[in-house]
């Protein structure tokens, strides 16, 4: 037997017929203040930042460019004179400073070269996709063969696609038309790459949903969403054969964001959560958690657009990914607390 005393009983609640609080009419449902649904502000702002385009250099841009160039020349000349004077007064220290300056300059040149190489790789992927789209449109088998040759140069050195490259080499002569040749290349090379890119998009959607739900500072959650989406786009580009340079990733993000803003897709995240949460469930969640889910849904939409932009062939033989299905797989456990949820469609 427990020694804990039973809780005290509460007195019954009495409501008098002449209570003044009951004199007025009951409020109607129309008088209920509207619910401010989560809009995914972090992802909306991050995408708007990436999609913003300047109208031209302008006086401020010319001033900043000229001032930056002048400052760079001044620092270079001053550093050169300082090292030369240091060598004259203290040769050992001067030579050490000169060696460090050369190492820093070489690292800068290597960084610029890597960024340029990443842009060149992205240009090759764009050229292959453009050539394949034209080959399908014009039913040109020679042009399709050119696109496949571009992909062969891109994918043959990769060990993870060695078997796929061998299959393409063995069977490409059997394909007598452009559609069959590009279908072979798409199925053999891009099937595993599409699956890996989807996994990256789902993982990033979960990360963005969690980060923006836990970070209470508006500027910080925008920064977190922007950096995670940039990393996702960079990784997706690497999967399809691009190089993950910072300039290349930013260029891709600008292209993806401009497309989403132009189509209005970035402003609608709640509609993607329907199969995961069911109608009206967002109203039962906390405001911050709802914002995180919408941000994650918008990240999945960015991931789908990034796959379409980074992919070296258009979706023809294989089904294109659907943002709704990515959201169901990525955010279903977060939204339902790990409980049972409706299975997503493939894609």
Cα distance from N-terminal residue to C-terminal residue, the chain: 60
Residue 310, pLDDT score: 86
Residue 254 token pair: 């600008």
Q: Tell me the C-alpha to C-alpha distance, in Å, between residue 200 and each of 1, 50, 132, 236, 249.
A: 57, 20, 25, 7, 15
| C-alpha to C-alpha distance for 309 and 294, rounded to whole angstroms | 23
Residue 59, pLDDT score: 72
Whether residue 41 is contained in a domain is answered as no
Number of domains within the chain: 1
| C-alpha to C-alpha distance for 221 and 28, rounded to whole angstroms | 38
Residue 258 token pair: 């401009």
Q: 3-state secondary structure string, 167-213?
A: HHHHHHHHCCCHHHHHHHHHHHHHHHHHHHHHHHHHHHHHHHHHHHH
Whether residue 148 is contained in a domain is answered as yes
Among candidate residues 304, 347, 315, 314, the one with its CA nearest the CA of residue 329 = 347
pLDDT at 35 over 50: no
Count of residues in the chain: 347
Whether residue 174 is contained in a domain is answered as yes
Strand (E) or helix (H) holding 138: helix 91-138
Residue 183, pLDDT score: 92
pTM greater than 0.75 (yes/no): no
What are 103-122's pLDDT values in tens digits?
Answer: 988 998 888 888 788 778 88
Task: Give the confidence band of 280 by pLDDT, cuts at 50, 70, 90.
Answer: very low
% of the chain exceeding 70 in pLDDT = 68
Q: How confident is the prediction for the chain on average, in pLDDT?
A: 77
Residue 185, pLDDT score: 92
What are 208-239's pLDDT values in tens digits?
Answer: 888 887 877 777 777 888 888 888 888 998 89
The gap from C-alpha 98 to its chain's centroid, in whole angstroms, comes to 42
Whether residue 99 is contained in a domain is answered as yes
Residue 13, pLDDT score: 62
Helix (H, G, I), strand (E, B) or coil at 47: helix
Q: Tell me the C-alpha to C-alpha distance, in Å, between residue 145 and each of 11, 128, 192, 308.
A: 86, 10, 22, 21
Domain hosting residue 116, numbered range: 71-336
Are 312 and 129 in contact, with CB atoms under 8 Å apart? yes
pLDDT at 262 over 70: no
């Amino acid at each position: 037997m427990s020694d804990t005393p039973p809780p005290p009983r509460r007195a019954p609640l009495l409501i008098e017929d002449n209570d003044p609080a009951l004199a007025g009419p009951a409020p109607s449902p129309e008088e209920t203040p509207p619910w401010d649904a989560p809009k995914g502000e972090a992802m909306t702002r991050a995408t708007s930042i990436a999609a913003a385009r300047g109208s031209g250099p302008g006086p401020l841009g010319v001033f900043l460019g000229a001032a930056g160039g002048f400052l760079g020349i001044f620092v270079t000349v001053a550093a050169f004179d300082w090292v030369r004077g240091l060598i004259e007064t203290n040769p050992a220290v001067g030579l050490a400073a000169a060696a460090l300056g050369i190492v820093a300059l070489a690292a800068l040149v290597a960084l610029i070269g890597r960024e340029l190489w990443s842009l060149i790789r992205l240009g090759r992927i764009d050229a292959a996709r453009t050539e394949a789209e034209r080959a399908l449109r014009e039913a040109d088998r020679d042009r399709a063969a050119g696109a496949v040759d571009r992909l062969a140069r891109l994918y043959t050195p990769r060990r993870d696609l060695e078997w796929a490259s061998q299959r393409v080499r063995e069977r490409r002569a059997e394909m007598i038309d452009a559609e069959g040749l590009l279908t072979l290349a798409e199925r053999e090379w891009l099937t595993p790459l599409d699956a890996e890119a989807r996994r990256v998009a789902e993982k990033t959607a979960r990360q963005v949903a969690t980060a923006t739900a836990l970070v209470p500072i508006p500027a910080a959650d925008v920064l977190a969403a922007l950096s995670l989406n940039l990393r996702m786009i960079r990784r997706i580009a690497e999967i399809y054969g691009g190089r993950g340079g910072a300039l290349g990733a930013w260029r891709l993000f600008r292209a993806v964001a401009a497309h989403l803003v132009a189509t209005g897709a970035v402003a609608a995240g709640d509609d993607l959560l329907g199969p995961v949460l069911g109608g009206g469930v967002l109203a039962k969640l906390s405001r911050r958690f709802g914002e995180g889910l919408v941000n994650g849904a918008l990240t999945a939409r960015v991931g789908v657009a990034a796959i379409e932009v980074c992919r070296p062939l258009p979706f023809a033989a294989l089904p294109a990914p659907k943002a709704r299905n990515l959201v169901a797989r990525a955010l279903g456990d977060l939204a339902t607390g790990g409980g049972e949820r409706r299975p997503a469609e493939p894609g």
